[in-house]
Amino acid sequence: MKNIITLIIGLSGAMIFAQDKMVGIETNAPERTLDVNGNLRITIQEDKPIDPHYTDVLIAEQSGNVDRRSKMSLALTDEQQIETIKNIYYSPKGGIIERSVRCGKYEITLNAENVALIRSTQPISDKITINYGLRRLERRVNLTGSTENTGTGDYYDKKFEITFTKDNWNTYQQIYGDSKKAMINNDAYRLHVVDSETGDFYKIDLTRIINRDEDWSPTDTRNTKASGIRAIICERHFNINN
């Protein structure tokens, strides 16, 4: 706010009003932190053509309120309101936390220990608890069945919840389990999350996949090598009737 006020003071000829921690230019009834009754001009911007963190664009509604929306969602029609964001990459020694997927209100990633994580992309004034169903499939090396091999795989269908607060919204929280549980090769998670505010539906898939011969462990053990492909895919289905 201090920087905004400093900027506004430097504007000559403008009528400036302050009310309830909101500042108005050419309006004595500001409705947002900064409310400008006039044109906006910005002469210098950085070009970010391939930066994966710049996934949103600014949008404005008829009354002039400016907010943001993902670039992918702008091309969607009312009949196809689905935003798909994905990141698929090979790593020889664990997940790369910077190779995250930003999808709507959430950011999903795998850390160096191959633990699946999620955090909010937006500040929270109080707290929000998300409830999600998680299905896990853990596929072992062989299909014959043994102590380290369960044949068709291990399935877990469970309900989990994570609470984001104004203090921890930007901190990654673990998606599966109370203790550190890493994804092994051929392991897959699927989350279903419904946004309680908008009704948007999120389908989030995380997978580790063997891709090269050196990714395989000996056939009598679990394939727990750190190498392999990581795939993070998020589908956001918009609730257009909200």
- pLDDT tens by residue, 58-112: 888 888 888 877 776 666 565 567 888 999 999 988 899 999 999 988 999 999 9
With bands split at pLDDT 50, 70 and 90, how would you rate the model's confidence at 150? very low
Q: Are β-strands 34-36 and 22-25 bridged in parallel, bridged antiparallel, or unpaired?
A: parallel
Supply the pTM of this predicted model: 0.64
pLDDT higher than threshold 50 for residue 144: no
pLDDT at residue 128 tops 80: yes
Rank 67-81, 118-132, 143-157 by mean pLDDT and report only the highest: 118-132
pLDDT at 242: 56
Query: Hunting for tokens 């897959």 — which residue is that?
Result: 188
pLDDT band (50, 70, 90) for residue 172: very high
Q: Region 167-188: what's the mean pLDDT?
A: 83
For 191-209, the pLDDT digits (tens) are: 899 988 888 899 999 998 8
Per-residue pLDDT at 69: 74
* Mean pLDDT score, 164-174: 93
Q: Residue 169: CB partners within 8 Å, gap ≥ 6?
A: 119, 120, 122, 123, 124
115 within 8 A of 121, measured Cβ to Cβ: no
Distances (CA, A) of 139 to 45, 115, 148, 152, 202: 48, 17, 10, 7, 24
Given the structure tokens 């500001």, which residue do they identify? 30
Compare 10 and 116 and report the one with higher pLDDT: 116
**Pairwise CA distance, residues 218 & 100, whole Å:** 30
Higher pLDDT, 33 or 218: 33
Amino acid at 39: N
Whole-number Cα distances in Å, 225 to 94, 144, 180, 230: 9, 21, 17, 13
Cα separation, 242 vs 31, in Å, equals: 24
Q: How many residues does the chain have?
A: 242
3-state SS string over 152-188? CCEEEEEEEEEEEECCCCCCCEECCCCCCCCCCCCEE
| Cα–Cα distance for residue pair 164/195, rounded to 1 Å | 13
CA distances from 7 to 3, 11, 41, 170 (A): 6, 7, 13, 28
**What's the average model confidence in pLDDT over 148-155?**
47
Q: Which of 50-54, 55-59, 131-135 has the lowest mean pLDDT?
A: 50-54
Around Cβ 204, how many Cβ atoms within 10 Å?
A: 24
CA distance 177 to 11: 54
Q: What is the mean pLDDT of residues 155-178?
A: 84
Give the per-residue pLDDT at 211: 81
Q: Give the SS3 label for residue 227.
A: coil
Q: How far apart are CA 125 and CA 81, in angstroms?
A: 28
Comparing 123-132, 175-184, 230-239, the range with the smallest average pLDDT is 175-184
**What's the pLDDT score for residue 52?**
65
